[in-house]
């Protein structure tokens, strides 16, 4: 059996060459090129879109908590107690719970001003800290957010405070603290034309009941820069110490909400559903954030994958045409094989071997071409699509199983494409050499 298979491939290789030449025939070259283009297109498109989805998932997991519980604008007045209750009641799913503050304000540096989303987090104790750490430079920037730089409202001297001539311990403590720290997005840093270590001014509405319509100006030192790769975050986000955020936007014991990290992030929806049954707050799992973005990418990916499928089908039809021409061109040799005792099954194996060989060669060339294209695409700036997909560069992550799938699909299409020409080859009459006008039985 092995000898017959080897002989089938040997004869098939002869059929793919020009007559009286060792060079491949033009139709064989075209078939290999068609399969190669189909495999390369499949590999490039699917790899890029899979990389898009995976990169977005990683970024959303880093830029957002696994589950967020919040109430805007009123906040959660007894946030510490609520956090402890969530931690105890759902210990099977929850790894860490921390508080956060959320608001919008203006940041200014020199003549430049930009709107920013302010998130106050508990430094390295925040639930999102492990994921954020790899996107913040320098890494000490996140550590700086663990140190409050502002006083709470009830820490300041009251209206009955009388100077005694002695240094004010609160003022002394404030000077020792220095300026509070802030970590801002890379895009926001560019919009402000600032640099790491510069002092920016945060402009907020006053929370002083005696001057509710006024504005408050607070200086912050840029301790770090965050760059997750999504423009919608990098261009707007700024992180403060949680207590500093509460001092500016809330009251003691208050928080905008809770951020929860999961033991398994894929179970975030399960926890969100549990919490919605018992808590009167807005609750979101990370999968529910920017859902429209994933839906749009899925729709675009489906359309492009259909186009790639059409390319692959065209390549398979190319093999059908090539092998059909080979049957016409090699009819005399086929009739000689039939006269020497070759069975119909052996003739079928010859043409199936020819189709599989063309598919295998095309797959190898296509994989190589696809990897070269992906190598070129890797790290290329996304250009005008940045405003839509938000990513700065085209993400490319090589996937060995996908390469195996591409080769398997190409070989499968090549095999099935060879069946009809093989069937026609079995109908070549053994008497074709004697009666060239009647070559089919």
Q: What is the mean pLDDT of residues 156-181?
A: 48
Amino acid 166: pLDDT = 39
67, 276 Cβ separation under 8 angstroms? no
Amino acid 300: pLDDT = 73
Amino acid 162: pLDDT = 41
Helices (H), 151-290: 169-177, 186-192, 231-234, 242-249, 268-278
C-alpha–C-alpha distance, residues 147 and 251, integer Å: 18
409, 42 Cβ separation under 8 angstroms? yes
Residue 267 scores a pLDDT above 60: yes
Residue of 201, 200, 181 whose CA lies nearest to 243: 181
C-alpha–C-alpha distance, residues 201 and 192, integer Å: 11
Amino acid 176: pLDDT = 46
C-alpha–C-alpha distance, residues 330 and 328, integer Å: 6
C-alpha–C-alpha distance, residues 53 and 48, integer Å: 9
Task: Give me the chain's average pLDDT, please.
Answer: 80
Q: What is the pLDDT of residues 103-136, one digit of tens each?
A: 999 999 989 999 999 999 998 888 888 888 888 8
Selected residue with higher pLDDT from 435 and 332: 332
173, 252 Cβ separation under 8 angstroms? no
Residue of 75, 60, 129, 64 whose CA lies nearest to 245: 75
Residue 294 host element (H or E) = helix 291-329
C-alpha–C-alpha distance, residues 346 and 350, integer Å: 6
C-alpha–C-alpha distance, residues 234 and 317, integer Å: 48
Q: What is the pLDDT of residues 209-253, one digit of tens each?
A: 555 556 788 999 999 999 887 777 888 899 999 999 988 888 888
Domain residue extents for the chain:
2-58+293-426, 65-154+167-288
């Amino acid at each position: 059996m092995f000898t017959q298979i080897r002989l089938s491939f040997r004869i098939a290789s002869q059929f793919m060459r020009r007559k009286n030449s060792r060079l491949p025939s033009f139709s064989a070259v075209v078939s290999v090129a068609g399969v190669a283009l189909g495999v390369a297109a499949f590999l490039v498109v699917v790899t890029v879109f899979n990389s898009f989805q995976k990169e977005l998932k990683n970024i959303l997991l880093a830029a957002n908590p696994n589950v967020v519980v919040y109430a805007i604008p009123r906040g959660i007045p007894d946030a510490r107690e609520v956090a402890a209750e969530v931690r105890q009641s759902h210990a099977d799913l929850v790894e860490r719970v921390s508080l956060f503050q959320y608001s919008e304000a203006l940041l200014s540096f020199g003549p430049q001003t930009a709107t920013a989303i302010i998130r106050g987090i508990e430094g390295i104790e925040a639930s999102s800290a492990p994921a954020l750490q790899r996107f913040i430079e320098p890494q000490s920037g996140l550590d700086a957010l663990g140190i409050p730089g502002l006083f709470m409202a009830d820490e300041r001297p009251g209206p009955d405070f009388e100077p005694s001539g002695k240094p004010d311990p609160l003022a002394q403590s404030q000077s020792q603290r220095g300026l509070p720290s802030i970590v801002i997005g890379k895009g926001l840093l560019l919009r402000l034309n600032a640099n790491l270590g510069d002092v920016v001014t945060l402009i907020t509405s006053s929370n002083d009941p005696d001057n509710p319509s006024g504005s408050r100006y607070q200086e912050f030192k840029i301790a770090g820069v965050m760059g997750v790769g999504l423009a919608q975050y990098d261009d707007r986000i700024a992180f403060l110490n949680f207590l500093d955020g509460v001092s500016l936007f809330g009251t003691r014991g208050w928080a905008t909400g809770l951020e929860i990290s999961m033991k398994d992030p894929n179970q975030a929806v399960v926890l969100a559903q549990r919490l919605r049954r018992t808590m009167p707050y807005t609750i979101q799992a990370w999968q529910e954030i920017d859902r429209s973005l994933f839906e749009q990418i899925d729709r675009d990916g489906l359309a492009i994958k259909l186009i790639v499928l059409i390319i692959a089908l065209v390549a398979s039809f190319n093999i059908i045409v090539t092998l059909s021409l080979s049957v016409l061109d090699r009819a005399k040799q086929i009739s000689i094989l039939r006269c020497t005792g070759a069975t119909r099954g052996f003739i079928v194996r010859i043409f199936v071997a020819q189709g599989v060989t063309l598919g295998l060669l095309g797959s190898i060339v296509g994989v190589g071409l696809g990897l070269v294209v992906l190598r070129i695409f890797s790290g290329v700036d996304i250009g005008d699509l940045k405003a839509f997909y938000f990513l700065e560069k085209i993400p490319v992550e090589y996937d060995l199983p996908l390469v195996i799938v591409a080769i398997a699909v190409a070989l499968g299409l090549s095999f099935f494409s060879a069946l009809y020409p093989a069937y026609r080859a079995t109908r070549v009459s053994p008497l074709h050499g004697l009666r060239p006008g009647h070559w089919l039985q």
